[in-house]
Structure 1
Amino acid sequence: MDGGEQTRPVTADDAPPRSAVVVNPSKVTDLDQFRRTVDDALAAAGWPEPTWYETTVEDPGRGQTEAAVAAGAQVVFACGGDGTVMACVSGLVGTDAALAVLPQGTGNLLAANLGLSNDLAAGLQVAVERGMRRLDVGAVEDRHFAVMAGMGFDAQMLRDTSETTKARIGWPAYVMGAAKHLRDRPMRVSIRIDDRPPLRRRARSVLIANVGRLQGGVRLLTDAEPDDGWLDVAVLTPRTLRHWLAMGWALMRRRGSVPRMEVFRARRVQITSNRAQPRELDGDLIEPGRSLTAEIKPQSLWLCVPRPERHPDLSMDAEAAAERGERLIEEARRE
């Protein structure tokens, strides 16, 4: 399904929606306590009790999400890391059910773009306030991503970042993973943007983005919009440590152009490398390969977002939502 009716599946004027929670139990320290907190907060907001589904190694969330939608869920909460969220996205594409993110892992790239970090209260509040936006998603074969796909350095960084370090210090752990590969040799790539002649580059990484923010709140692509019908393609070509430092400084300051980065727009992009490369979707590693092909599926995912839901920055009002969410949880505990 590419597109759909431009009406919300659930509005503030509707009855409280039926919901489901798809949770990765390995990402939650105390699942029983976590479940009580979510159930009680939704009850305090007037929502019916949600149905719970646990992910497995064999099915990280897509099958559970599809089952929840088939059973009538109007909002599906994804509770876990990037892999859980990505699986839920694939299960919701083209439906009228909405995705709400309750981040519990250490990466959470979509949550970072929503300004949610690992804040359970904010994630719950964003859902119960029913700010919803219909987003584009990217499709890679039968899988989907809401934020970005990548090939090369970015996936190497994810692969070589310790889970233990991520759990201890959070997103800065990725800096340590990245440092291991700053001097690696570039890949020779051919990049075909839609039907144009292929571009040939010696690149360290090629990113295909629907939304522009990386971990730690760094805005890689300032013009990337989540519902404009386009993918933004960033080709990173640093060759020396000085190049990396200049690029990092420019991204932090975010004034003017970023050196050693070219940006293109596409509805379909095909990347082919001279050798197999690590690859990732929404911060979750997939199998290595010599190519990565992605295409846009416009307006195909409903997402619960902080209000105002039409703001270009999906994280607008997230901090205030977190404060309201804390009050919701406290109210639920008193009842």
Structure 2
Amino acid sequence: MTSAPESPRTLAIIVNPSKFDDIDATKAQVAEFAAASGWNEPRWFESDPDDGGVAAAREALQVKPDLVCAMGGDGTVRAVASVLRGTGIPYGLLPSGTGNLLARNLGIPLDSLDDALQVAFRGQDHPIDVGLATFDDGQEHAFVVMGGVGFDATIMDKTDDKLKKKVGWAAYAVAGGANLFGGKFSATLEVDGAAEDSVDCLMVLACNCSSVIGGIEVAPGATVDDGQLDVVMLRPNIVAGWVGVAIDVAIGNRNGIASIRQWSGREFEFTLDRPVLAELDGDPIGETASGRFGVDPDALLMRLPVPAVRHPSLGAVATLDED
């Protein structure tokens, strides 16, 4: 007795067309790869700038896809993740734009669409955590890489989009340098219900990954599959100034007299002495004077390379192919 042939599978792609000079050529390349892999013609859903791709992702679920891919910047990736969270549908990344924060942390190829498609169609599935943030508006937002208030949000808000297209990550450094000496505020933090002393700081950043910008390990030890977040607080270095801050980041100095403190946990609440700008995965979302960061463990099923690329932000998945 012979088994029935496997039905062709369906790929749904949420795309931000503004990231491509020739979107039709890109679609043709993906369709050719899908056909060669025995899949149905890909279903395409264009993101709406008003919601970053949330509506498109919800529409994509209606075709009952076997795989959903995001093809856009970090905002598109976050929007699609917020919809796929908890569904168990595999999520692939086809990196576009400058940041590609999650793809960088998962070892997904950035410079070759064919290589990224290879991972999406033939990779391994592994669950990762999703971060949750609630600010003054009371609405819960999902994020996959980072959520923060203060200096990080200012950098993202002040980065020139045209310069970013020309020089990539260097544009963030330009924005950071121009805003180094302002924005101090007082913050009180609770970590899993335990209150920390109120301190003056420049940034409170919840990290789901160790690297959140330019390959720098801002939150050493943070992994996407450990069931918790790492919160980093950047404080003015009274002794060494901004040179000390740079050194602390570079060498991973934490929790002493350094400029940076780091906590691991599942729930963080913060109160600030004044409203400051907030961001999620690099997208500024307005000012807030208080908020909460939490985690939804193993909520998103990601499609990763085989074997998994060894990266500080990957924990258990690094041993999948050795068991």
Aligned to 2:209: 211
1:253 to partner: Cα distance: 4.6
Is 2:188–2:198's contact at 8 Å kept on the other side of the alignment? Answer: yes
CA deviation vs aligned residue, 1:3-30 (integer Å, no higher than 9, x gap):
xxxxxxxxxxx87642101001111111
User: RMSD between aligned alpha carbons?
Assistant: 2.4
- 1:226 partnered with 2:224: yes
1:213–1:119 Cα change, 3 Å: farther
1:120 to partner: Cα distance: 2.2
Aligned to 1:244: 242
Is 1:22–1:53's contact at 8 Å kept on the other side of the alignment? Answer: yes
Aligned to 2:150: 152
Unaligned runs of 5+ in 1: 1-13, 317-335
TM value normalised by structure 2: 0.86
Aligned to 1:123: 116
CA distance in 1, matches of 2:313, 2:192: 27
- 1:163 partnered with 2:161: yes
Aligned to 1:201: 199
| Counterpart mapping for 1:1-335 below 5 A | 17-115=9-107, 116-140=109-133, 141-239=139-237, 242-254=240-252, 259-309=258-308, 313=312
1:285 to partner: Cα distance: 1.5
CA distance in 1, matches of 2:244, 2:81: 35
SS in 2 for 1:35: helix
CA deviation vs aligned residue, 1:232-287 (integer Å, no higher than 9, x gap):
11111124694333332343355887931111112111122111111111112112
Aligned to 2:3: none
1:35 to partner: Cα distance: 0.6
Is 1:305–1:314's contact at 8 Å kept on the other side of the alignment? Answer: no
Is 1:106–1:166's contact at 8 Å kept on the other side of the alignment? Answer: yes
1:314–1:17 Cα change, 3 Å: farther
Is 2:11–2:65's contact at 8 Å kept on the other side of the alignment? Answer: yes
Among all aligned residue pairs of Structure 1 and Structure 2, give the percentage whose two residues are the same amino acid.
Answer: 33
Unaligned runs of 5+ in 2: 1-5, 134-138, 316-323
Aligned to 2:318: none
CA distance in 2, matches of 1:133, 1:310: 13
CA deviation vs aligned residue, 1:101-127 (integer Å, no higher than 9, x gap):
112222221122134335423321211
Is 1:147–1:210's contact at 8 Å kept on the other side of the alignment? Answer: yes
1:30–1:46 Cα change, 3 Å: same
1:40–1:187 Cα change, 3 Å: same
Which residue type is aligned with residue 232 of structure 1? D
SS in 2 for 1:308: coil
Across the two proteins, how many residue pairs are aligned to each other? 303
CA distance in 2, matches of 1:315, 1:120: 22
Which residue type is aligned with residue 164 of structure 1? K
1:63 to partner: Cα distance: 1.8
1:190 to partner: Cα distance: 1.1
SS in 1 for 2:230: strand
Is 1:132–1:309's contact at 8 Å kept on the other side of the alignment? Answer: no
1:80 to partner: Cα distance: 0.9
TM value normalised by structure 1: 0.83
The higher relative CO (CA closer than 8 Å, separation ≥ 6) is in: 1
CA distance in 2, matches of 1:63, 1:37: 25
Which residue type is aligned with residue 60 of structure 1? G
1:64–1:242 Cα change, 3 Å: same
